[in-house]
Amino acid sequence: MISQVFILSSKGDHLIYKDFRGGAGNDIVSIFYEKVTALTGDQPPVVMNYKDIYFVHIRQGGLYWVATTTAGSSPFTITEFLNRLAALVKDYCGSLSEKSVQMNFALIYELLDEIVDYGYIQTTSSDVLKNFIQTEAVTSRPFSLFDLSNVGLFGAETQQSKVAPSSAATRPIQSSREQGGKSEIFVDVIERMTVVIGSNGLLMKADVEGEIRVKCYMPSCSEMRIGLNEEFSIGKSQLRGYGAAVRVDECSFHQAVRLDEFDSHRILRLCPSQGEQTVMQYQLSDDLPSALPFRLFPTIERDNGGRLLMYMKLRCDLPPKSAAINVCATIPVPKGSVSLSQELSSPDQSAELKPQSRAVVWQIARFAGGTQLSALFKLEVPSLSSASMLEVGPVGLSFELPKITATGLQIRFLRLSPIQPGPSQRWVRYVTHSDSYTIRI
Amino acid sequence: GVQAVPKETEDKSRSGVDVSGLFSEMVKACATVDVVQKKLVYVFLCSYATLNPELSLLVINTLRKDCQDPNPMVRSLALRNMTNLRLPSLVEYVEQPLTAGLRDRAACVRRVAVLGWAKLHNLQPSSEIDAAVVNELYSLLRDPDPVVMVNCLRALEEILKEEGGIAINKPITHHLLNRLKECDIWGQSEVLRVLQRYRPQSEDELFDILSLLDSFLVSPHPPVMAATLSLFLSVSSNLPAISLAALERVSGPLLAACGSGSREMRFAAVCHIQLLLRSVPGLLGPHYKRFFCGYAEPAYIKERKMQVLVELVNDENVAMILDELKGYCTDVNTDTAQAAISAIGRIGRSYSDRCLQILTGLLGLKQDHITSAVVQTMRDLVWVCPQCSDTVCLALDGCEETLQDIQGRQALLWLLGVYGERISTAPYTLEVLIDGVRSEASLGIKMELLTATMRLFLCRPAETQDMLGRLLHYCIEEETDMCVRDQALLYYRLLHCGIEKTREVLQGRRSDPSLGVLIGRPAKPVSQWARCFNTLEPLSQGAVEAESDRSDSAMRCSDSSTNVLASSIAVDCAWIEECVRCPAVLQCSPQSLQAAMQLVNIQTLAFTPQHMLPWRVYLYTHTQLRVSEDGQEEEEGIKVILNQQPKDDDALRQFLTILITVLNTLSSEKD
């Protein structure tokens, strides 16, 4: 049971406050904010309590999404609810930010009214909600399909080999009503990689968590069939050593997905709801089908002048036509590092010393497959000792790999039946993110 | 247009402008046919109704009229807002539309009406329960709409709270189980939670239920999975084999939740895995890598993951895990770094050589927070594994230059006192501290310094005698803190009793190997934690402290301070144990406790770190008599162990009364 829900900006401004059960003091929001900010660091615990009022909160879009409840409540339910609420707000308002929440407060109150009654969750299904939600979303910028300023950030491929504008999926779901029946559907395959590479260069751990997300802007939806790679397999033993097989360890589906054609043809059938939903989640450990995207070859030594020299060679092992974007290597350096001088192998890279996080941050906007970059960092560390070397590393790498899935999962086809009247667009997009890519030194 | 007025008002009220004067205008605006405007007006009215009880009577007419509207959306909206007004005076007007609402042909109206009865009941909790309504709600459990069914459960639970909630009998249970698949995940979790109260009548029935629920146990939705496991654990509480099988089964989905994209969900999953590990220590051994920390993960997840890693250590993976933990020790977040160091220390109970090598290496960094954590960890380690003491003694050399914080210096002093004969530089280190004792602010350090110097004197008298004399002189003649002064006096008198007597008192226990190694700890029964599974308790701070950490710090404190008192006067003292009922003292900080106690002339000798359970405080007073008290915070009250000399019951009662008064004052202040 949820007593109150509120949304706060990172500065503590009250954006939304809804009291479902009554009887809560007015100061409850301030109490929460005091508790959150009283803690050192920017990562307060998920659950906090004040007497017997328990606060559960999540951070999304730079905002605090808070529910108050009692000690006996399920943390899984409350957390999932807050995540779902944030997702719905994002669906309805187009994006998540202080501004979009502020501009759409009436819409969000309307949503909350339908989602929760007397602290009990009634429904979070966008199919049900669309019948009740009347308020139109307000966006800060009129949506335009021709806004192509960010193309390439989130590259996409479809059967027509067109590029979907990256802003296309950040508009309110209801705007499709006014777009003259313009209906679109986005199918995103999103994977997150967790990798640890040992100091000897051996792979210690590699995990991929993946999901297929459907984002639907069609006012009335017909059945959709998503065809995956035919050689897709689930479980440890099957088809090993048979080349192109795409394998995952575990796989689960949204309850609306019908699997009658899955065993025979690897086809998922569903009637997508409006808005965003995750239709399939899967996970793979330790047995990636392709080479790791990045290898690092570090050489670290002290020179005579008491400086620390770090020579870093970073190789991108993606296929030659692909590229990684927004690559960022964070190299922890000894405490007391004063200044950094650098030699980078090409002009589109940059590096700086961040004394607060005690790290050198090396950024590469675009990194083509099959190429190698190198950097020489010279650090001035007055108190350098041999033990200081312990503080160098492990290197954390973050990146985005557009058009690539680490598991090799592909969408073979995407069919809507019956054929939609009028113009309809189907977009399939792939992206792999680094969840945590750690290279020990 | 028409919509703009209420919207504007709403905007104003949100920005803090007092708009209560507009109430009557808003009541008029309520009569609109525009649904969006209606909704906005309702939001306004509900938030101001309590301030204007008279005006809101006007609203009720409009709302009652809307309850007849042909549009079900308007009907449900009106009914919901009518019940949200929270005004007891309006109850009589609401009952009739609510009764009609239960029989409405639209499910969305019935959903609202069912919960409306719960709201109504809670508005006047003392009023008689209407049996007809309760019967109707029971029969609506068979409503075709699953949300109406679940809402009936919720409403009955609230209305019948006094009687222990809805009666969960066999027909209702099986009806709910059969319709579980129709519900969404929220409904499923709710039904599963209520069914926890059901006790199957036969083993056959139990197994029917369990096999029906098996697919829910491995649900990809964490709320459903967790609610199902809770149900499994409660219905099979006397069949441990079934509980254990359920834990095995659920470990897959729980692991998946540990990799969830939502970090808050990850956190919830890791915290619950810690519960499972108490009963099935080897459960996730092969999956230990899933608990390696991502570099961008928040510190609170990292800390829990490290605790899990420590539990999963075995001969095969110890090298990998230590390698990983080593990387965290230099983390830029000092909490993470210290947690990693203490995790290595705990693994050291089973694999001491490897761990000591890492810990010793870290001392080379000469960073205060790392050195402090390492010294504290080493102290904890020798307390459990005395065989490590040689390596530790060698490593300590030079640490005192880096150490800054009180905990770290206290740990070093304890080690210097206990193992002084093997640390060649011990007298010099102590001498520097003794020379600077005038500027020392910490009470704890002074007490620890006294004890350490006394101990060192026993094994190295020639080198220590002079500095001990100076320290005792300072503490007795110049020190203003009664506590330090009393302890110094005590030692001084003790020395008069002769060196043998002193040795007897001071050379107490150096270690407690009974705390045991990490591996092969006996599994705890599931019943010990089943109650708090799927509640917020496992996520709360400090809730899941590793078992064996609980007692040792407290033991050591007593070793260095209170036991000294205790054994020195062991001849004719009275040990009395009292259990005092007192609200949670845990909420107040040790500092405020200390300050409060000082007001009534009770000195705080030592307290264990706040997250330790049971939390212990050592108190000492000496007005006309000497009482030392060891308060152990327990779940409901505190246990006070009193040590008094000479025995005087009246004084003892007085002391207890004062103590309870202080504690009560403190906790009421907190409220």
One domain for residues B436 and B583: no
Å between A163 CA and nearest CA of chain B? 26
* Residues whose CB falls within 8 Å of the CB of residue A310, separated by 6 or more in sequence, listed in order: A298, A299, A300, A331, A333, A360, A376, A377, A378, A379, A392
One domain for residues B17 and B158: yes
Q: How far apart are CA B123 and CA B120, in angstroms?
A: 5
* Burial label, A264 (beta-carbon count in 10 A; 0-12, 13-18, 19+): exposed
The answer to whether residue B362 is domain-embedded is no
Tell me the pLDDT band of B96, cut-offs 50, 70 and 90. Answer: very high
The radius of gyration of chain A's CA atoms, rounded to the nearest angstrom, is 25
Comparing CA positions, the residue from B305, B296, B358 lying closest to residue B332 is: B296
* Residues whose CB falls within 8 Å of the CB of residue B591, separated by 6 or more in sequence, listed in order: none
The answer to whether residue A99 is domain-embedded is yes
Tell me the pLDDT band of B607, cut-offs 50, 70 and 90. Answer: low
Residue of B nearest to A435 (CA): B294
What residues of B are in contact with residue A285 (Cβ under 8 Å)? 289-290
Report the share of chain B in percent with pLDDT over 90.
47
Q: How far apart are CA A161 and CA A29, in angstroms?
A: 49
One domain for residues A47 and A125: yes
CA distances from B595 to A127, B185, B448, B599 (A): 60, 51, 20, 7
Model pLDDT, residue A144: 43
CA distances from B40 to A108, A121, B164 (A): 11, 21, 38
* Burial label, B458 (beta-carbon count in 10 A; 0-12, 13-18, 19+): middle
Q: Tell me the one-letter amino acid at B231.
A: L
Q: Report residue B8 as tokens.
A: 């504007």
The answer to whether residue B565 is domain-embedded is no
Model pLDDT, residue B600: 65
One domain for residues A307 and A334: yes
- List the CATH number of the domain containing A333: 2.60.40.1170
One domain for residues A39 and A51: yes
Which of B536, B586, B668, B671 to mutate to probe the A interface, most A CBs <10 Å?
B536
Which of A31, A47, A190 to mutate to probe the B interface, most B CBs <10 Å?
A47
Interchain contact, B299 vs A398, CB within 8 Å: no
Buried b (16+ CB within 10 A) or exposed e, B84-108: bbbbeebbebbeebbbebbebeebb
One domain for residues B31 and B159: yes
* Burial label, A427 (beta-carbon count in 10 A; 0-12, 13-18, 19+): buried
The answer to whether residue A156 is domain-embedded is no
Comparing CA positions, the residue from B55, B64, B63 lying closest to residue B20 is: B55
Model pLDDT, residue A288: 86
The answer to whether residue A154 is domain-embedded is no
One domain for residues A351 and A312: yes
Tens of pLDDT, residue by residue over B52-78, are 777 677 778 888 888 998 989 889 999
One domain for residues A267 and A317: no
- Determine contact, residues B71/B104, Cβ cutoff 8 Å: no
Model pLDDT, residue A238: 52
The answer to whether residue B25 is domain-embedded is yes
Q: Tell me the one-letter amino acid at B136.
A: E
The answer to whether residue B241 is domain-embedded is no
Residue of B nearest to A72 (CA): B535
Tell me the pLDDT band of B575, cut-offs 50, 70 and 90. Answer: very low
- Determine contact, residues A351/A414, Cβ cutoff 8 Å: no
One domain for residues B578 and B473: no
Q: How far apart are CA B569 and CA B135, in angstroms?
A: 70
Interchain contact, A394 vs B327, CB within 8 Å: yes
One domain for residues A315 and A396: yes
Helix orientation angle between B263-279 and B240-258, rounded to the nearest 10 degrees? 150
Max mean pLDDT range (B13-27, B119-133, B360-374)? B360-374
| Beta-strand pair A183-197/A424-439 | parallel
One domain for residues B49 and B155: yes
One domain for residues A286 and A408: yes
The answer to whether residue A138 is domain-embedded is no
Q: Tell me the one-letter amino acid at A115.
A: I
How many helices (H) and strands (E) chain B has is answered by 32, 5
Helix orientation angle between B222-235 and B185-195, rounded to the nearest 10 degrees? 10
B260 alpha carbon, distance to own chain's centre:
23
One domain for residues B153 and B51: yes
Q: How far apart are CA B394 and CA B424, in angstroms?
A: 9
- List the CATH number of the domain containing A49: 3.30.450.60
Q: How far apart are CA B278 and CA B358, in angstroms?
A: 27
Q: Which of A373-382, B517-526, B631-640 shows the lowest mean pLDDT across its residues? A: B631-640
Q: How far apart are CA A126 and CA A112, in angstroms?
A: 13
One domain for residues B16 and B141: yes
Helix orientation angle between B91-102 and B53-66, rounded to the nearest 10 degrees? 20
Interchain contact, A396 vs B295, CB within 8 Å: yes
Residue of A nearest to B317 (CA): A204
Tell me the pLDDT band of B628, cut-offs 50, 70 and 90. Answer: very low
The answer to whether residue A249 is domain-embedded is yes
Residue, of A70 and B644, whose pLDDT is higher: A70
State how many domains chain B has: 3
- Determine contact, residues A283/A250, Cβ cutoff 8 Å: yes
Average pLDDT, consecutive stretches of 10 residues, N- to C-terminus, chain A (441 residues): 93 91 83 85 78 92 94 95 94 89 90 94 87 76 42 36 48 58 81 92 91 84 86 71 73 89 91 86 88 93 86 93 93 90 90 91 94 93 82 91 92 81 78 92 86
Q: 10 Å Cβ neighbour count for B162?
A: 8
State which residues form the domain around B124. Answer: 1-167
Residue of A nearest to B228 (CA): A74
> Could you give the dihedral angle defined by the CA atoms of residues B12, B18, B24 and B27, in that order, rounded to the nearest 10 degrees?
40
- β-pair partners for A194: A207, A436
Q: How far apart are CA A176 and CA B372, in angstroms?
A: 61
Instruction: Answer whether residue B230 shows pLDDT above 90.
Output: yes
Give the domain-ending residue among B167, B196, B215: B167
- List the CATH number of the domain containing B608: 3.30.310.10
Interchain contact, B323 vs A440, CB within 8 Å: yes
Instruction: Answer whether residue B642 shows pLDDT above 70.
Output: no
What residues of B are in contact with residue A335 (Cβ under 8 Å)? 365, 367
Interchain contact, A76 vs B225, CB within 8 Å: yes
Which of B264, B333, B359, B404 to mutate to probe the A interface, most A CBs <10 Å?
B264
Model pLDDT, residue A158: 35
What average pLDDT does this structure show over B519-538?
Answer: 85
What residues of B are in contact with residue A127 (Cβ under 8 Å)? none
Q: Report residue A160 as tokens.
A: 């027509």
What average pLDDT does this structure show over B302-314?
Answer: 93
Instruction: Answer whether residue B554 shows pLDDT above 70.
Output: no
The answer to whether residue B461 is domain-embedded is yes
Q: Report residue B160 as tokens.
A: 């019948």
One domain for residues A116 and A38: yes
Q: Which of A176-180, A283-287, B279-283, B496-500 shows the lowest mean pLDDT across its residues? A: A176-180
Show the beta-strand stretches assigned E in B537-662. Answer: 574-581, 602-607, 616-622, 626-633, 637-645
One domain for residues A235 and A373: no
One domain for residues A230 and A347: no
State which residues form the domain around A67. Answer: 2-130
One domain for residues B581 and B478: no
One domain for residues B57 and B162: yes
pTM above 0.90, yes or no: no
- Determine contact, residues B646/B621, Cβ cutoff 8 Å: no
Give the domain-ending residue among B117, B137, B167: B167
The answer to whether residue B537 is domain-embedded is no
State how many domains chain A has: 3
Tens of pLDDT, residue by residue over B410-421, are 999 999 999 988
Mapping DSSP to helix (H, G, I), strand (E, B) and coil, where does residue B351 land? coil
- Determine contact, residues B618/B628, Cβ cutoff 8 Å: yes
Interchain contact, B365 vs A388, CB within 8 Å: yes
Q: How far apart are CA B264 and CA B247, in angstroms?
A: 22
Tell me the pLDDT band of B498, cut-offs 50, 70 and 90. Answer: confident
Q: Is this complex scored with an ipTM above 0.85?
A: no
What average pLDDT does this structure show over B430-446?
Answer: 90
- Determine contact, residues A210/A192, Cβ cutoff 8 Å: yes
Instruction: Answer whether residue B45 shows pLDDT above 70.
Output: yes
Q: How far apart are CA B523 and CA B547, in angstroms?
A: 11
Give the domain-ending residue among B138, B167, B196: B167
One domain for residues A408 and A285: yes
What average pLDDT does this structure show over B506-532?
Answer: 74
Q: How far apart are CA B285 and CA B95, in angstroms?
A: 59
Instruction: Answer whether residue B583 shows pLDDT above 90.
Output: no
* Burial label, B327 (beta-carbon count in 10 A; 0-12, 13-18, 19+): buried
Report the share of chain B in percent with pLDDT over 70.
76
Long-range contacts of A200-207 (CB under 8 A, 24+ apart): A201/A295, A203/A292, A204/A440, A204/B289, A204/B320, A204/B323, A204/B324, A205/A286, A205/B289, A205/B292, A206/A285, A206/A286, A206/A287, A206/A288, A206/A292, A207/A283, A207/A284, A207/A285, A207/A286, A207/A435, A207/B259, A207/B289, A207/B290
Å between B227 CA and nearest CA of chain A? 8
Interchain contact, A207 vs B147, CB within 8 Å: no
Comparing CA positions, the residue from A375, A357, A234 lying closest to residue A297 is: A375
The answer to whether residue B138 is domain-embedded is yes
One domain for residues B492 and B592: no
One domain for residues A421 and A391: no
The answer to whether residue B528 is domain-embedded is no
